Structure 1
């Protein structure tokens, strides 16, 4: 079973060695840059949200309400 390509013969000699290796190097550089950007961006969001997480302080009544009612709501949704 062979794969049919649109261009039957592709070779490095068509684009040249310099362009081929430059393309490989730029592709690896772009992949590493995007990976670092996404990873450090995620860490930045984690830091910001963890620093801002206690903006709402609940009193004892509200804590008790959410402690009791949230599992019941989840139980209803899981059964449906």
Structure 2
């Protein structure tokens, strides 16, 4: 995969495989989080996509859970 051009607009949507790489999670864990309602997705035709904001929100959720659990 090549690096994005410097003038390229930020990505709004990611394919599941890209979300897997960004979050360092397996396909099964990604789909488990989607089913649990913890990772939001949208559909375009038959393709399931993860909005960039949903990835940020998921990371925020993990950080909040870590703080509540007393680990940092």
The normalised TM-score by structure 2 is 0.32
Per chain length, whose mean CA-contact separation is higher, i.e. which structure has more relative contact order (CA < 8 Å, sep 6+)? Answer: 2
Larger radius of gyration: 1
Q: Which has the higher strand share?
A: 2
Larger helix fraction of residues: 1
